[in-house]
Amino acid sequence: MVLEAYCVKCKEKREMGSAEAVFTKTGTPATRGVCSVCGTKMFRMGKTEAHEGLTPPENTKRKAKEPKPRKGKLVIVESPAKARTIGRYLGDDYKVVASFGHVRDLLRSKLSIDIENNFEPSYRVPNDKRKIVKEIKKLGAEAEEIFLATDLDREGEAIAWHLIESAELETELTKRVVFTEITREAIEKAFENPEILDMKLVNAQQGRRIVDRLVGFQISPILWEKVRGGLTAGRVQSVSLRLIVDREREIEAFVPDEYWSVAAELCPEDTASDETLRANLTHIDGKKMQIGSQTELDPIISDLEKAHYEVRKIRRGTRERKPYPPFITTTMQQDAARQLGFSAKKTMAVAQQLYQGIDVGNGGETGLITYMRTDSTNVSNTAQQSARTFIQSNYGDEYIPSEIPKYSTKTKRAQEAHEAIRPTSIGRTPKSIKSYLKNDQYRLYKLIWKRFLASQMSSAMYDTLSVIIGVDGNESAYVFRASGSRIKFPGFLAVYDRSNGNSSQAEKDLESIPEGLAEGQTQRLIQLLPEQHFTKPPARFSEASLVSTLEENGIGRPSTYAPIMGKLVDRGYVVKEARRLVPTETGFIVNDLVSEYFSSIV
């Protein structure tokens, strides 16, 4: 019998000389010999005919290892920061480790979806995660209890399932724990009431991932061939790009229309007062005023110059302005963009830091806000009661609404079981922890803290005034109107005022209405103030307005918006100009290609 084996000196397979059938220490059959060309020792595993009739020595047989007794409790989370914070609350009986995000995904080199077999996905542990999975598998085999404490959304549930599958965790010993905030009370409650894995959430995430892969895998190669390499398409990404491109084309095709406004400066007849009233023309002959050209304007001005002006009605009243609801992911991104100048990506990165925990002088990391990927405006009863107590102590009883506020989200398919984004402790004021936070962390925390506190406060109340001026001309009857409002009771605006304390236009208008006006009072025309205007094209999308549009149309999820914004810029589809998203030539080409050949997707 001729055997071949690899010769390390010749660096190729050679015929083995002096072949001898042997066994390894574990009883595995092998053959030992030398290279027939250079004489180097050779060794080859496997059973041959020469092993027939041979019996491995008794002391070389493989002995079954007795399983070690399990001990300790293993907790698995996504990030080291989260692991440190949770570990601080759980104590020495628990070992908390991080998976560093997802540990399995579809293979990048192929579709990895068996379309013929009910779209069955094929997952693989990436090379950079194999060491992590190996370590978790080892720890899981030694632990008497295993807790999966990944985030409480679809992605977190999917990470937990992939951990069970890839690290071969014992399902009988593995429990799921979820919490909306990383505080001692929330962590202890979650571990006292563990749950089972929610396969509906897992399958929802798998479904979205499979659809994303099917869309991207079909379209991206076409983009590489027709446009250039490195380009991608996606279920949410392509729709977002189309919105931006369609808006740009709408702007390019926009033709401005001319229109005119007319104001009148008046004062009471037979008075020496120099106080004047400025009112705006609203109706002509009972119809809403529309003046589209100088030609239409001139006869109206001529008629008004000779007309009789009289105060027909004075209305005084009050107006209520309700608080904003607490933040969800999209509204946080929008307000952070408007007030702080943060991109969606930056907002989520800073919020993640606040959620996972920061040392604020309590001897370790403390979670400062609740989970930041949410579309629910629900708030726990405990948090609401704490806010009411804080408001009473710091602002007074009149700032507490008689009924605890309840908010409903406008988001389609919102997961109402989650909570809104809020501080984990309302008593942890921004000022009290400012020295422990980086500037961006402080600014976002302050925004979240103020928004939540304001959402639990009384409405703001305004005094309103409206003056109707009737004008009788020779050709037509006209109506002019002056109105304004002033804050009577600030309510939630004492905490969260987007105007930053500046007077509103309504307040300025109210201040310009003189005292002493009375119904039936004749007014003298001082001057007419016609002004030409032109309609403006729709504004380009900002990140905030694009996220709002996607949310209103039920496109994407809170966890997808920030990455999508980043991809549009990174792929060169859009650029930012004055915080507005402007499509590039590549963006136009890719959008048109996808829209023409894959219209069912976008």
Tens digit of pLDDT for each residue in 335-391?
A: 999 899 999 899 999 999 999 999 998 878 899 999 999 988 999 999 999 999 999
Strands (E), 36-90: 41-45, 73-77
pLDDT for 504 equals 67
pLDDT for 250 equals 97
CA separation, residue 357 to residues 55, 65, 312, 366 (Å): 62, 42, 62, 4
Supply angle C-alpha 314, 318, 323, rounded to 5.
150
pLDDT for 60 equals 44
Task: Tell me if the pTM is above 0.85.
Answer: no
**Residue 557: strand, helix, or coil:** coil
> What domains are defined for the chain?
4-60 (no CATH), 73-205 (3.40.50.140), 227-254+539-597 (1.10.460.10), 258-322+460-534 (2.70.20.10), 329-455 (1.10.290.10)
pLDDT for 66 equals 66
Q: Which secondary-structure segment (H or E) carries 471?
A: strand 460-472
Residue 479 pairs in a beta bridge with 283, 470
| Catalytic residue (one of 89, 94, 355, 371) | 371
pLDDT for 561 equals 86
What is the mean pLDDT of the segment spanning 149-175?
94
The number of beta carbons lying within 10 Å of the beta carbon of residue 180 is 26
pLDDT tens for residues 567-601? 999 999 999 998 899 999 999 999 999 888 887 77
CA atoms within 13 A on the CB side of 478: 28
Q: In this structure, are residues 53 and 76 in contact, taking their beta carbons and an 8 Å threshold?
A: no
pLDDT for 458 equals 97
What is the mean pLDDT of the segment spanning 161-184?
94
> What amino acid is encoded at 534 in this protein?
F
Confidence check: pLDDT of 402 > 90: yes
**Residue 382: strand, helix, or coil:** helix
Confidence check: pLDDT of 501 > 70: no
pLDDT band, residue 332 (cuts 50/70/90): very high
Burial of 546: CB neighbours in 10 Å, binned 0-12, 13-18, 19+: buried
Selection from 551, 552, 602, 591 nearest residue 568 by Cα: 591
> What amino acid is encoded at 367 in this protein?
G
pLDDT for 602 equals 65
State the angle between helix axes of 558-570 and 543-552 in degrees (0 to 180), rounded to the nearest 10.
130
Range from 7-16, 130-139, 448-457 carrying the lowest mean pLDDT: 7-16
pLDDT for 418 equals 76
Task: Verify whether residue 597 is a known catalytic residue.
Answer: no
Pairwise CA distance, residues 584 & 573, whole Å: 5
Strands (E), 221-354: 258-268, 277-284, 287-288, 308-321
pLDDT for 91 equals 86
**Helix, strand, coil % in the chain, rounded to nearest 5:** 40, 25, 40
**Percent of residues, the chain, with pLDDT higher than 90:** 64
What is the mean pLDDT of the segment spanning 214-243?
85
Q: In this structure, are residues 283 and 289 in contact, taking their beta carbons and an 8 Å threshold?
A: yes
> What amino acid is encoded at 582 in this protein?
V
Selection from 459, 511, 468, 509 nearest residue 488 by Cα: 459
- For residues 271 and 94, the model is more confident at 94
**Residue 17: strand, helix, or coil:** strand
Q: In this structure, are residues 232 and 571 in contact, taking their beta carbons and an 8 Å threshold?
A: yes
